Structure formats: structure tokens, C-alpha cells
A and B are shown apart, each in its own frame.
Chain A
Amino acid sequence: MYSIVISNTLTLPIYEQVKNQIRLAIINDELAVGEMLPSIRQLAQDLRISVITTKRAYDELEAEGYITNVQGKGCFVKPKNFEFIREQKLKEIEQHFSDAISCGQLIKIGGVELHEMLEILLKESEDGKCTGN
């Protein structure tokens, strides 16, 4: 089961909200490979948004390789492209690291301390896994 929730107060454009939530549902296996997405016009009506906005979300998901549009039949979830998802996750990690660096610069925390913090956090999460078993 997956749901799509649109916020009108977010600055994120509506098509991106739709796109992000479908993408997340695919990555988290809430939408299975081969599953059919609601038709563009049905989803537009359900979310009370325009057809063009919905179409754009689907077009971009198709361009990014998450879904495929079969003419006259509908849009289906494609097998996950792990290379691609990995690439995206790597970018995210880089972003978080650079956020941490600039945050450190604000209070003069340098590379050595950051490395130490990372070591501690890594160890903690590994320990957590062990006790978790």
C-alpha cells in the first residue's frame, strides 16, 4: 500500500511532490515491479490537481527509469535499476557530508574531530547491529 499526499503550502512544485512520493514507494517496495500505476487522469482527479501536472510527474519518472509507459495500457513499475539508485544514494551521502563540514566550520570543528565523530558513530551503529541480533 502506498499513499500520495499533496501539500499546497510547500514550496516544492506539486509535480515534484507526486514524483518523489511515487519514487519513494517504488524504492521501498510499496509498489511492486510490474504493478500498474493509476491512470494519469484518475490520479489527477483523486489528488484534485491538473492533468498536465500529473503527466509531468509520470514523464519524469519514466525518464529516470522508474516506470514505463505502455501506449494504450498504462504506466507500470519497472524492475529497479540498482546502479542508478546507488548513484543517487551516493550523491545524498556526499551532500550530508558537506553539510556536516560546513556546519563544523561554523563552530570551528575541523577534519580530525569530524573523523573521530564518524568513527564513534560507525562503531555505535555496528554495536547496535550486534546486540540487535
Chain B
Amino acid sequence: MENALEIKNLVKRFGKFGVHDVSFSLPKGYIMGFVGKNGAGKTTTIKAILNMLNRDSGEIKIFGKDNLKDEAEIKQKIGVVMDSPFYENEWTLVQVGKALKPFYTDWSDTKFGDLLHHFNLDPNKKIKELSRGMKMKIMVACALAHDPDLLILDEPTGGLDAVARDELLETLQAFVKDENKSILFSTHITTDLEKIADYLTFIENGKIVHSDTKDNMLEKYVVVKGGLNVLSPEQKKLIIAYHETKVGFDGITDKANLKSLPKLVTEPCTMDELVVRFNKEGRNNKE
């Protein structure tokens, strides 16, 4: 399968923080959710993809091309939505379009106009007059108006109400109806991912904990619960995010481990469960 995005051994240190040896790839035609809590390294990774910071080492390929050597060419085909617009506050939406147009060979005024109309945005409004939801929409409109093949969104659903989130998800799915288009979006809202993401990549303390299809991940793990003293210390090691209370324990485990464990109560894993447990496990390992 052809990859829209390929990251190999990316390293960027900021004192104690940063990303360490990040590698993952996004196959063409699919949506990947990039999950991690604040400070885990999501934005650093995205900035490295866009060459907005100097990385220490590693390699990033977009559409099979090096993101440093072929930066100008690649960026013609990338649409980016960050957490807040970087347009002048006094500009109207029409002026925003005019300002961006010269940078892109494939910019379409018609498409931009259609998108504004679709999102119910008044072209004569100024950036400073927009709500959080409308700001996200104008960024999406700008990102899509130049016909990108890869859309990168950093926490696009943060601070949006349920209706605006739903509209955004719909727009994203409509975008990948063309199988040459791909999306990477970072978020911590799992219900968004549960619906539309094909792939999930978990990042924790600057390291990739997991990267796989969502379906594989949800099928691979199972929630286990049981009484106290039923597991030996070796068996406890098989449980991810082992958590003990006065009356019992819970955690998740790889289904393959079930045969080496005593009979326990098992439940299918939800996305929320995965996010919380991987996060806990990360914290446990750090301590």
C-alpha cells in the first residue's frame, strides 16, 4: 500500500520533553487519528511534518518525497488546520481568500466560495467577529480550497460544540471519498475517532505506544476483571494498566494472553477504555 505520510525515527528534544524515535505511516486514502494527552508530542510531531521546527534527526516522507528537499512542492498538496487561525483579525473572509490565493497553483475561488456557503459563513465578516466553531470552519475552507491530497488537523474538534464537531466529521469523510486523499488529525475526543478513523496512533511521553487500524486495536484488547489473589505476579505483568482495589482488580490485556490467565470476567474494549489504560500504563512505567 502506498503511504501518504511516512515518519521514521523522528527525534526532537526540548530539554526533558520532545519526541523520541517516533515512527508511523499513514496509507493513502485513509483517516488516521493521532491520540495523546496534552504535552505527549502531538503538535511537535505535526510541526516537524510541516517543517515548522528543526528536528534533531529522523526522516519524513510525504507522498513518497522528502519533506525538506521537496518542501515547496509537497506543501502545494497539503491542507493544514491548526488550533487557531493565523490570519489578520481585521481581514474579512474574502480578503483571507485573496491573501492565500497567490501561494497555491491549484487555488479555486469557486471552491472557496462554495465552502463558505456550505459552512454558512458570511464572506464579509471579519476574522475577529467569528466564534470558535466558525474559525475552525474558515480554516477548513482555506485548507480545502487548494485541492490538497493530505489534510493535517491539530486538535480541530477542541472547544467545538457537538453540532460543529459532527459537521466537521462529515466534511472529513466527504474528503476521503476520493481514495487519493488522506487525513491525519490529532485529538483527545475519542467519540470522534470511534466513528470515522481507520487508523489510530497513540503517543505517550513523546513515544509511539501503538499504531494500527482501529478495528485491529479494538479487537486485540479485552477488559479483564477479577477478584484479589487470583493472579500470580507473573500473570499480573500480562495486564496493561493493572489496577487493584480492596475488592478486586481490573485492567486490559491482549486477547492472546487470556489462555495463560485463570478464568476472569472479560468485556469488549471501547476506545475510551484504550485511551485511559494506555495513558495509565505510560504513567506507571514512568514512575
Binding site for B on A (CB under 8 A): 8, 11, 13, 15, 41-42, 44-45, 48-53, 56
Binding site for A on B (CB under 8 A): 29-31, 169-170, 173-174, 176-177, 179, 194-199, 213-215, 218-219, 268
Q: Known contacts A50-B198, A52-B198; is A45 also within 8 Å of B213 by CB? A: no
Rounded to whole Å, the gap between the CB of B191 and the closest CB of chain A is 9
Q: A48–B191 Cα gap in the complex (Å)?
A: 12
Closest to B30 in A: A51
Q: Write out the residue numbers on chain A whose beta carbons fall within 8 Å of the beta carbon of B197.
A: 50
Q: Is the CB of A48 within 8 A of B173?
A: yes
Q: Known contacts A42-B177, A45-B173, A45-B177; is A51 also within 8 Å of B215 by CB? A: no
Q: Write out the residue numbers on chain B whose beta carbons fall within 8 Å of the beta carbon of A42.
A: 177
Q: Is the CB of A15 within 8 A of B195?
A: no
Q: Write out the residue numbers on chain A whose beta carbons fall within 8 Å of the beta carbon of B30.
A: 51-52
Rounded to whole Å, the gap between the CB of A47 and the closest CB of chain B is 9
Q: Write out the residue numbers on chain A whose beta carbons fall within 8 Å of the beta carbon of B179.
A: 41
New A-B contacts (4) at CB < 8 Å, excluding given A50-B198, A52-B30: A48-B196, A50-B197, A51-B198, A52-B198
Q: Write out the residue numbers on chain A whose beta carbons fall within 8 Å of the beta carbon of B215.
A: 13, 15, 50, 52-53, 56
A to B CB contacts below 8 Å, 20 in the list: A13-B219, A15-B215, A41-B176, A42-B177, A44-B196, A45-B174, A48-B173, A48-B195, A49-B195, A50-B31, A50-B195, A50-B214, A50-B215, A51-B29, A51-B30, A51-B31, A51-B198, A52-B214, A53-B214, A56-B215
- Sorted from nearest, which 9 A-B pairs have the closest CB atoms? A52-B198, A45-B173, A41-B177, A50-B198, A48-B195, A52-B213, A51-B198, A11-B268, A50-B196
Q: Write out the residue numbers on chain A whose beta carbons fall within 8 Å of the beta carbon of B174.
A: 45
Rounded to whole Å, the gap between the CB of B58 and the closest CB of chain A is 27
Closest to A42 in B: B177
Rounded to whole Å, the gap between the CB of A20 and the closest CB of chain B is 16
Q: Is the interface of A mostly helix, strand, loop or mixed?
A: helix
Q: Write out the residue numbers on chain B whose beta carbons fall within 8 Å of the beta carbon of A13.
A: 215, 218-219
Q: A13–B173 Cα gap in the complex (Å)?
A: 21
Q: Write out the residue numbers on chain A whose beta carbons fall within 8 Å of the beta carbon of B198.
A: 50-53
Partner of B176, one of A15, A49, A51, A53: A51
Q: Write out the residue numbers on chain B whose beta carbons fall within 8 Å of the beta carbon of A44.
A: 173, 196
Q: A106–B254 Cα gap in the complex (Å)?
A: 35
Rounded to whole Å, the gap between the CB of B287 and the closest CB of chain A is 34
Q: A45–B166 Cα gap in the complex (Å)?
A: 12
Rounded to whole Å, the gap between the CB of B68 and the closest CB of chain A is 31
Q: Write out the residue numbers on chain A whose beta carbons fall within 8 Å of the beta carbon of B169.
A: 48
Rounded to whole Å, the gap between the CB of B154 and the closest CB of chain A is 21
Q: A11–B266 Cα gap in the complex (Å)?
A: 12
Closest to B195 in A: A48
Q: A8–B191 Cα gap in the complex (Å)?
A: 11
Q: A53–B170 Cα gap in the complex (Å)?
A: 17
Rounded to whole Å, the gap between the CB of A57 and the closest CB of chain B is 11
Q: A13–B220 Cα gap in the complex (Å)?
A: 13
Rounded to whole Å, the gap between the CB of B163 and the closest CB of chain A is 14
Q: A49–B169 Cα gap in the complex (Å)?
A: 10
